[in-house]
Structure 1
Amino acid sequence: MEDRPTPLRVDIRSTDRSVVVLEAVGGIDAFSASTLRLPFRGLLEAGNRHFVIDFGRVELLDGVVGIRAVARVWLAIKARGGTLALAGPSSVREAVLAAGLQHTLTVHDTVDEAIRAHVEP
């Protein structure tokens, strides 16, 4: 029997720079991709516009499904005039490249770098 990754959990952390950081913990696959998208509706309705998703504690990233979920989130954020940056290991950057979204989704090595990208011109 194949081991499944830890179920995905998304923790929300606000910063003092008007950027909401969401930390994904566990695995992102076909069963959990919707969990990644869920928090954004309420955050956008509350007026938040700038986001970072931290993939540092993601155990499994199904590239196609995971990045497709992120792309849907990005479209909703963009429609409201917002921004989205990703932070995480090289596997996240590779998944974005494989999906052909490197000009749409920016991937930073750390959350701090991703936040600075939002607040610095």
Structure 2
Amino acid sequence: MLGRATEIISDELQDGNLAIAQWLIDRVRPPGRSDYVQLNQDISLDTVEDIVVTSERIAMAVSQGEISLQDSNWLQEALGRHVQLKSIEELSELRAQVEKLQRNRSEQQTLNNSLVPKWGRLRKTDQKD
């Protein structure tokens, strides 16, 4: 099949039908796909800010012709998923910090109340707004 396609493409080129030859070549050859993309600069994906910087580097690499737009789209899509996961991770860490602060505050209030003698504590009816 490939041999026949090569003959037809050759015939079209000899007849001067460059557009048809190009169309046939595009149909016969497998689509361009790279298994990996290597960027010249070291990248870090530890934080959301790092991922944004990496995204900017990818855009620059495309503008300078270092990687294809197709590879850039794939990378940006992967970074988008990664930034979502990192955001969830950062939110979980923040939640843990808030819970720890709330526990410490609660413990501190309990401790402060226990240091005041019973006769010195205000009753709810004695408190003024």
TM-score normalized with structure 1 length: 0.29
Larger radius of gyration: 2
